[in-house]
Every structure is written in C-alpha cells, then in structure tokens.
Amino acid sequence: MKAKFDKELIKKYDRPGPRYTSYPPATEFTEEITADHYIKKLIESNERKTPLSLYFHIPFCEQRCLYCGCNVIISHRKGIEVPYLERVYKEMDLVSQYIDKDRKVIQLHWGGGTPNYLEPDQIREFFEEIRKRFQIDENAEISIELDPRYLTDEQIKVIKEVGFNRVSLGVQDLDPKVQQTVNRVQPYELIKTQFQKLRDAGFQSINVDLIYGLPYQTKESFERTVDKIIELNPDRIAAYSFAYIPQVKPHQQLLPKEALPSPEEKLAILEMIINKFQEAGYVYIGMDHFAKPEDELAVAQRKGELWRNFQGYTTKKGVELLGFGATSIGMLYDGYFQNYKTLRDYNKAVDEGEIPVFRGYILNEDDFVRREVIMDIMCNLGVEFKKIEDTFGIDFKTYFEKELEELKEMEDDGLIKIEEDRIRILPVGRLLIRNVAMVFDAHLRKKKELKFSRTI
Ligand code: SF4
C-alpha cells in the first residue's frame, strides 16, 4: 500500500509529538531510575534468555555540520578517543558480568558522532574487545554509520574483515551550495566512489541518510539529489526533516535563517521525496524510511513483525538492547536505561566502577499494552484487536473506549479505517502515523489534561 500525500491533512495534523522509538518516549525517563535498577533488570533478563542487541556510541567528529542535532565532541586532534574506548571496555565489563554467557548477540550497531573517526587498528581492537565479552551470532546484523568524507580504503577493509555487514552513509544533500552552507562539503563524485568501494568490498546492504529543510534547498534542487541517490541504488534510505532549534543547538545560529525553505516549500520537498522514491520502487516503511521491497524491513512490515528501537525501524522485535558509551540507551523488556550524556559524567561513573546509567523508565502494565498498540501503528500499519486482547487479557474496545471515540475524526478525514476487529492505516494516514499513535499515548494524554486543567 503506497503512501498518499495530502497537503491539507498534513497541515491540519502538523503538531509536535514523539517519534516513538520507544514507548513511553525518552521524555518520560526519570533520574529515579539508577544503575541499581538496571542491574536488577539485567539479571532478570537472563530468565527470558532473549537474544541481545548491542549499541555502541562513538561521540567524536572531525568537524561540526551546522544542522547537527546530536550530542557530539568535535576534535581534529586524534587521541581523545583512546581513553574513551578504554572506558567503553570497562563499561562492557561492568554490564556483561550480569549477562549469561550463552545469550547470543544477533544485532550490533556502532553509531555516533562518527564511528569512522576511529583508526583501522582501533576498529579492530574495539571489535575484539566486544567479542571477548559477548557471543556474536554468525548471522548477526552488524551495522555502522560512516562519514564518507573521512572514510579510508583501510577502514573499509577492516570493517568488512571484523564482521560488519551493513553500512549507513551520511549524505544529507548533494547540492554544493547547501553543502557549503551547512559546513559539510562532500561532492557527489566522492559519495559515488565511496559507494562503489563499499559495494566492491561486499557490503550487500547500504543505507543513505538525507536531510530536507536545510538552507537553500528547493524542491528542484533536492530533486536532483534524490535522482542521484536513486542512481546509486541504495537498499534503504532515511530522509529526515531538519529540526531548526538554534535556542537548543547554538551552532545552528550560524545558518542563514532567511535561506531556510518555507513550510510550503518543505512540504513540497517532502511530497517529491515520497513520490520519487515510491516511483523508483522503494517501499515507504514509515516516518522517514524507505526500503527496497525485498529488504527485510519491508518483508517484516508485510508480515506484521516490524518494531522500533532507538535506531529507528528494526526487524528484531523482542531482543533486549544494551547501550554502551555516553548518551546511549538500553531497552530491556520492561525498562529503558540511559547513560550520562556528557563525557565528564560518563567518565566519572565508569572510573568509579559504576554502570554509567543516570536515568530511565520501568514500564507498568498499561505501558505494555499501549507500547504494543503504538508499535503496531508505527510499524505494521494497523492494530488487530484480537492480538492485543490475547496478549494482555483485555477487551480492546472497552479498554480503549476513549481513544476509539477520539479516532473518529481521523476516520472521517480518511487517515484510518476502524473495522469490527482492527484499525487500519489508510494511504493518506501513512504520513500521519505518529498522530494516530499519539491518541494511544497515556503520558501525552495526562500532560494534555494537566495543561487543560491549569488553563481553567
Ligand atoms: S558528522 Fe554527524 S554527528 Fe558529526 S557533526 Fe556532522 S551531523 Fe553531527
């Protein structure tokens, strides 16, 4: 089912909301949840014997892209990463002591920052340190985010050798003026060459990240980028909307505000992106993601088995995610645990022999039900009432009476169809799944009610 772009409805429902990489979202995390809770939950997780997913955060970059919304440390001077890696190894010791050795890692991801900030030898050593502490399944999905500007032939060779089988390239926009303005100059020829080298090295799965809404972008200019990306034939594409928040990210003040595309232009760009990638044969998975029909994301969505985690969409529902490094988040079955965000706090905790968790969330019974419903909406484009009823022992229509009532407006607008036994997301609603999911978000509802009562 292709997504259908409806400008008026997108405008009508345009409001900020969570991206539901988790439910409840990270805004609900509290500092009442500490490393002790994490340890308790890690030990309990062994009883479930679920496979593991590991996330490693490498927060360093050579140069700041002015649109960047991540928590990064900019340093040309190499060496800063050495003590960081030592601490990540120590953190792995602190955490892995609670994990049964026979639990297999079926997914592993290095994100950043820029993971290829690391030298080839460091990549090799880092990977060996992971293997010393965890058992990585031979069919594991092992992925890495790469900055094409700094990617060397030696790095490509090493990431392949150690076992990475998926790569993600940050492209963002190929227009020279846009690139210069955002301080990320990487000509198309360079991207094409790196792409070819990665294919030649045997990487079957390559993802490309794009960003729309950057200064000087127009529908026409970004269309040229999209055309060139389609020529490269990546397996997955993520096209993110640029969030201009100079009050939170002061370096964004260096961007020429007057050159940002208007909301109308940004919508036109989004429409073009959705249409072009779908016409080129990509499946619109949801939110910002596209994949080839044979890609396992698209296959899992067709089977109703897709899920979301902090890296976006995943086929590995039910795995428990352990996050390592500053800012990273672990997702166990019944709790989320985030590490300190600054290097200073992260270093201090690890140096004192503590797991560096500073906040988190433990799910209650209602959260479990709502998480399943929200993830089904976000990932599998609908909710089957019986599945939820059988899993949680509830009567769907009674439990969600208020929500079903509220959804009627969306049904009238053609976003969804409420049937006797399910809710279906319709083509027009595909771009607004977040809004549908928000109706089931009890935390958001509570906030809205509080705000309302305060106003009165
Ligand atoms: S490379 Fe990525 S993480 Fe680093 S500054 Fe640029 S956008 Fe941010």
Q: Which residues of 281-296 are buried (b: 16+ CB within 10 A; e: fewer)?
A: ebbbbbbbbbbbeebb
User: From atom 8 of ligand 1, which residue's Cα is the shortest distance away?
Assistant: 68
Q: Which atom of ligand 1 is nearest to the CA of 64?
A: 5
pLDDT-above-70 percentage for the chain = 98
The residue whose C-alpha atom lies closest to atom 7 belonging to ligand 1 is 68
Q: Which of 57, 61, 81, 179 has the most ligand 1 atoms within 8 A of CB, as the residue to mutate?
A: 61
pLDDT at 455 over 50: no
CA angle centred on 123, ends 151 and 45, rounded to 5°:
125
Least confident of 29-38, 96-105, 409-418, 445-454: 445-454
Ligand 1 pocket test, pick from 147, 171, 252 with the greatest ligand atom count within 8 Å of Cβ, gives 147
Q: State residue 335 phi and psi, 5-degree precision.
A: -165, 155
Strands 357-362 and 104-112: unpaired
C-alpha distances out from residue 310 to 22, 36, 432, Å = 7, 22, 20
Q: How far apart are CA 117 and CA 9, in angstroms?
A: 42
* 8 Å CB contact between 106 and 140: yes
For 185-214, the pLDDT digits (tens) are 999 999 999 999 999 999 989 999 999 999
- CATH 3.80.30.20 range(s) for the chain read 9-324
Q: 68 CA distance to ligand 1 centroid (A)?
A: 6
Task: Kindly state if the Cβ of 65 falls inside 6 Å of ligand 1.
Answer: yes
pLDDT for 318 equals 85
CA distances 404 to 165, 239, 383, 416, 440, Å, are 43, 31, 12, 11, 9
Three-class HEC string of the chain: CCCCCCHHHHHHHCCCCCCCCCCCCHHHCECCCCHHHHHHHHHHHHHHCCCEEEEEEECEECCCCCCCCCCCEECCCCCCHHHHHHHHHHHHHHHHCCCCCCCEEEEEEEEECCHHHCCHHHHHHHHHHHHHHCEEEEEEEEEEEECCCCCCHHHHHHHHHHCCCEEEEEEECCCHHHHHHCCCCCCHHHHHHHHHHHHHCCCCEEEEEEEECCCCCCHHHHHHHHHHHHHHCCCEEEEEECCCCCCCCHHHHHCCHHHCCCHHHHHHHHHHHHHHHHHCCCEEEECCEEECCCCHHHHHHHHCCCEEECCEEECCCCCEEEEECCCCEEEECCEEEEECCCHHHHHHHHHCCCCCEEEEEECCHHHHHHHHHHHHHHHHCEEEHHHHHHHHCCCHHHHCHHHHHHCHHHHHCCCEEECCCEEEECHHHHHHHHHHHHHCCHHHHHHHHHHHHHHC
Q: Which of 124, 123, 126, 54 is nearest to 89 (CA)?
A: 126
User: Ligand 1 within 6 A of 112 CB?
Assistant: yes
Residue with tokens 């009050």: 247
Share of the chain above pLDDT 90, in %: 91
Residue carrying structure tokens 């950057």: 214
pLDDT one-digit tens code per residue, 348-372? 999 999 999 999 999 999 999 999 9
**64 in ligand 1 pocket by Cβ < 6 Å?**
yes
Q: Tell the burial category of 64 from Cβ atoms under 10 Å away from its Cβ (0-12, 13-18, 19+).
A: middle
Using the predicted structure, report yes or no on whether residue 456 has a pLDDT greater than 80. no
Question: Which CATH number is correct for 9-324, 3.80.30.20, 3.40.50.300, 2.30.33.40, 3.20.20.70?
Answer: 3.80.30.20
For the ranges 248-252, 304-308, 331-335, the lowest mean pLDDT is seen at 304-308
Task: Identify the residue whose C-alpha is closest to ligand 1 atom 2.
Answer: 113
Which residue of 72, 80, 144, 214 sits with most ligand 1 atoms within 8 Å of its CB, as the best mutation to test the pocket? 72
CATH architecture of 1-8+364-456: Orthogonal Bundle (1.10)
Predicted confidence band of residue 451 (pLDDT cuts 50, 70, 90): low
Burial of 226 (0-12, 13-18, 19+ CB in 10 A): buried
Ligand 1 centroid – CA 100 distance (Å)? 35
Cα(211) to ligand 1 centroid in Å equals: 12
Evaluate: CB of 59 within 6 angstroms of ligand 1: no
The model's pTM is 0.95
pLDDT-derived band of residue 254, with 50, 70 and 90 as boundaries? very high
pLDDT, residue 453, reads: 44
Q: Which of 272, 378, 271, 392 is nearest to 317 (CA)?
A: 378
Apex CA 63: angle with CA 291 and CA 192, to 5°? Answer: 40
Residues 6+ apart with CB under 8 A from 139: 106
**CA separation for the pair 15, 437 (Å, rounded):** 13
* CB of 151 shorter than 6 A to ligand 1: no
Atom number of ligand 1 nearest to Cα 172 = 7
| CATH 1.10.10.920, the chain: domain bounds | 1-8+364-456
Within 8 A by CB and 6+ apart from 248, the residues are: none
* Residue 437 identity: A
Other beta carbons less than 10 A from residue 246's beta carbon: 12
